[in-house]
Structure 1
């Protein structure tokens, strides 16, 4: 991976650094949000879940317009503005006197991070030849997982010093990254030639809805995100129902560590080998690994069994996420890469709905049946992926 980073243009390395640093800043507050909302606003756990999930859903929907901005403005402008919004939102959230204002800040934080992510992926496509894109997507995802592994640890340490420090440090990190990108970012970088005059957002959105491949792939992405998007949440729900709360918390911690170590160790090695020529077989292999992992969860009777199932499940995640990036890169017109990547972000709707659907199912079926329902979601996702890849020359 280090050899690849040295080979890339400095603009690519800076885009990778920017997404990593902002992901790290976002991850610092993750372990603190529930506690902060409970202490500061006396919210119940169910209402906290709705607020956090709702912010993700709203930001995912708005990111479609963010992708349109990536297509119409210079990357430098988009990333600077998004990073400033990211920074200010953390600062305002720290001082927020109301739940409504905090919710708005959370939406803006998620949206700003999504826009930077879209701008970075579009930038990679503009700066690198086709054959090198799978590798850079794999590196980006590896760095994001390192950020999500390290960030919460820093957040917990900061909480011990002062309750507001996680927000303050995240804001300062965002500001520092903004200043660095302002100075070093490529001011001439555009993902593509500017769109033709008159190509407004509504016109572009109508065009997206008519792209059968994109619609099918977005539906497939949402259904697969139900399974891997917030797996820690629904595994926690299942374990709380089937085991003692303290035992469930310990086991979830072990599973999160297993997932993070597996991704960091294998993401680059596997992701860089995913090719456009065999994209559909790779996707189906990822779907099969998801199913095997879910069935493993349903049968696991020991910590080792759960960890082995998580290992298999994570291999599916390692394959599917870069493959989704590659497919969007394959079908997106040059002048619409940003909005196509924005449409891909709609899969976060599935991630937000996963714990809701599992929580609902746990009230009506035997607990183990939720894994079979999730298997059904994977099968439907595979069907939509197949329909989306027909005629895409892969």
Structure 2
């Protein structure tokens, strides 16, 4: 991996560094928002699910328009602008004493993080040769999970000192990237040349004709219900079925196992996933997801939870890079931003996860949560396989 990083241009390494810093800021605060909202605002499990899910849902929808902007505006200004929004959102959440205002800042944070993520993925397609892109995506995902390995433990330590410290440190990390990109970022980051539809609605018309993109997006939404915010919905489940202290222990264990497994195996497995056997890899990955969900439902101690998380993470290692590779393969160069923005709609599934789990925990016995999650994995498999099997259905220029 280090050898690959040495070959990459400065801008690619700077964006990878930014991915790590912004995700670290996210990982320090986000896993503990369930507990923060419960203690600071006195929200119930169901209302917390609606709060977190609604913010992620809105941020994902807005990121589609962000992808449209990426294809038309210089990336330098977009990254600076949305990095500033990232910082402002954490400061705003910290300062908010009213729930509606906290929600607006949480929505802004999700929007800023999603659009910055689309900019990074789009830049990889423009700055790297096709043979290097899968490696770059694997490195990026490894860094994201390294951030998630460190962040929750840092966040837990900070939260024990003060509930405000995680927000302050997250804002500081965003500021560090903002200043670094202001100093070293490429001011000449321009959209790719090509004949693109002039309006957002016209672009949506082009996307709607690419059935492969639509099937993969639906499959991504269904899968993201399961893995998109697993720490949030498992926190809801654990808070409902055990004590807050035990929930802390399990979530820290799960995030640690998830991150260590990805760091150890993501690059090794990711570079072996190819377009020729994409459908087979997806089926294997979804099968591992399903086994992990069954393991969660049967877990009775930290060892069981950790083993189930390891299996679950193997599915994540396979499915996520396969999605990136498929989108990059079918996206026209001048519409890469909006294609990746469409793929980001998979986060809608992540938004639905806490909401659905909150509803199931309110209305049904807790074990039905895992039955529901398994059903989403099976359904997503049909859409992934259908999308990978379809011929091209949209013009590339």
TM-score by length of 1: 0.91
| CA offsets 1:179-201 (integer angstroms, 9 cap, x no match) | 211121122223511654x6111
Preserved contact between residue 122 and residue 191 of structure 1 (Cα < 8 Å): no
Preserved contact between residue 86 and residue 112 of structure 1 (Cα < 8 Å): yes
Matched, 1:54 2:54: yes
Q: What are the equivalent positions in structure 2 for 1:154-303 lying under 5 Å apart? A: 154-193=154-193, 195-196=195-196, 199-239=198-238, 247=246, 249-300=248-299, 303=302
1:131 aligned residue: 131
1:94 aligned residue: 94
CA distance in 1, matches of 2:387, 2:267: 26
CA distance in 2, matches of 1:307, 1:97: 37
CA distance in 2, matches of 1:158, 1:234: 22
2:118 aligned residue: 118
- What is the CA distance between 1:38 and its match in structure 2? 4.3
Preserved contact between residue 282 and residue 319 of structure 1 (Cα < 8 Å): yes
Preserved contact between residue 56 and residue 350 of structure 2 (Cα < 8 Å): no
| CA offsets 1:257-307 (integer angstroms, 9 cap, x no match) | 222221121111111221122212111110121122223334445544443
Which stretch shifts more, 75-84 or 203-212? 203-212
Q: SS of the counterpart of 1:192?
A: coil
- What is the CA distance between 1:140 and its match in structure 2? 0.5
CA distance in 1, matches of 2:192, 2:3: 28
- What is the CA distance between 1:383 and its match in structure 2? 0.6
- What is the CA distance between 1:241 and its match in structure 2? 5.8
Preserved contact between residue 55 and residue 107 of structure 1 (Cα < 8 Å): yes
1:313 aligned residue: 312
Preserved contact between residue 55 and residue 351 of structure 2 (Cα < 8 Å): no
Matched, 1:379 2:378: yes
TM-score by length of 2: 0.90
Which stretch shifts more, 102-111 or 90-99? 90-99
Which stretch shifts more, 88-97 or 380-389? 88-97
Residue ranges of structure 2 left out of the alignment (5+ in a row): 393-397
| CA offsets 1:321-362 (integer angstroms, 9 cap, x no match) | 111111110111111111111111111111121233234345
Q: SS of the counterpart of 1:72?
A: coil
1:357 aligned residue: 356
Which stretch shifts more, 310-319 or 292-301? 292-301
Preserved contact between residue 230 and residue 354 of structure 1 (Cα < 8 Å): yes
1:18–1:253 distance in 2 versus 1, CA, 3 Å: closer
CA distance in 2, matches of 1:135, 1:44: 43
Calculate the aligned-residue CA RMSD, in Å.
2.4
